[in-house]
Amino acid sequence: MAKRFGDTDIWKKQRWFRKLSPEYKLAFCYIKDQCDHAGIWNVDCTDLVEDLGIKEFDLPDFVDKCNIEFDKNNGQITLKERLRLLDKGYLWVIGFIQFQYKGKEGLVNPYANPVKTALLLIKGYGLLDEALSKKWITLTQPLDEIPDYWVRAKDKEQDKDNTLHNIKHNKLNNGAEISKNGNGSTIHVSGADRFAAKYGTAEEFNNYLQKNNTSEM
């Protein structure tokens, strides 16, 4: 089960959130739970409506409402981008990486394993430079000061992909045991702890199991 930080102050101190309809409040929390570890949600309003038990959902209006801010001095409405619709049916929760991965000093460690892959993901969408320049993400060290940062991040992703591929095809080199049931629909894996230790999080492992109709022993 993936665990994430939540902002308890959002219900009392964030006026933009308090002004949302009950359906939009629920949708915002739903998307934060359903997005990937970079804050990117594969838009599926059909599932959202069904899962939340609401009658309809206007995604563009929802995004507009979430991107409203109220000036504390005069109460005037201004804009603050919290959500962005991306191409090919994706939505980005802009503050997700900063909120989830910041340390005690309010900075994100680019060496942390989930941060590496998260930055690589938003880089692929052409969002990284903007996120850094607008301080949506503030790092403990500039990426251009880290030699071969992207090479190592990509190698790590490829290594992880290879491991997942081996799991799917009954080949795992770290000592984990894999067995299929009679009809071949379920793969039982006893190496989740090794995988999680190697990559810093079990989220990707569990997501893989769910997407491929597998279960962990």
For residues 122 and 78, membership in a common domain is answered with: no
User: Which candidate, 214, 201, 213, 212, places its Cα nearest to that of 1?
Assistant: 201
Give mean pLDDT, residues 61-90.
93
Q: Please, which residues have CB within 8 angstroms of residue 136's CB and are 6 or more apart in sequence?
A: 94, 95, 97, 98, 130
Q: Which H/E stretch holds residue 91?
A: strand 90-93
Question: Is residue 34 scored above 80 in pLDDT?
Answer: yes
For residues 22 and 80, membership in a common domain is answered with: yes
Give the range of the structural domain holding residue 162, as residue numbers without chain letter.
153-216
> Rounded to an integer, what distance in angstroms lies between the CA atom of residue 119 and that of residue 161?
17
For residues 129 and 157, membership in a common domain is answered with: no
For residues 22 and 79, membership in a common domain is answered with: yes
Report if residue 199 sits inside a domain. yes
- Across 69-78, 99-108, 145-154, 207-216, the highest mean pLDDT is recorded for 99-108
For residues 34 and 108, membership in a common domain is answered with: no
pLDDT bucket at 215, cuts 50 / 70 / 90: very low
For residues 81 and 113, membership in a common domain is answered with: no
For residues 25 and 77, membership in a common domain is answered with: yes
Report pLDDT for 150. 74
Name the more confident of 196 and 115.
115
State what percent of residues in the chain have pLDDT above 90. 58
Report pLDDT for 117. 92
For residues 49 and 119, membership in a common domain is answered with: no
Q: Partners of 93 in the beta sheet?
A: 83
Report if residue 2 sits inside a domain. no
Question: Is residue 5 scored above 80 in pLDDT?
Answer: yes
pLDDT bucket at 25, cuts 50 / 70 / 90: very high
> Rounded to an integer, what distance in angstroms lies between the CA atom of residue 217 and that of residue 173?
17
Alpha carbon dihedral 113, 119, 123, 127, in 10-degree steps, equals 170
For residues 11 and 89, membership in a common domain is answered with: yes
Number of domains composing the chain: 3
Give mean pLDDT, residues 94-102.
97
Report pLDDT for 164. 55
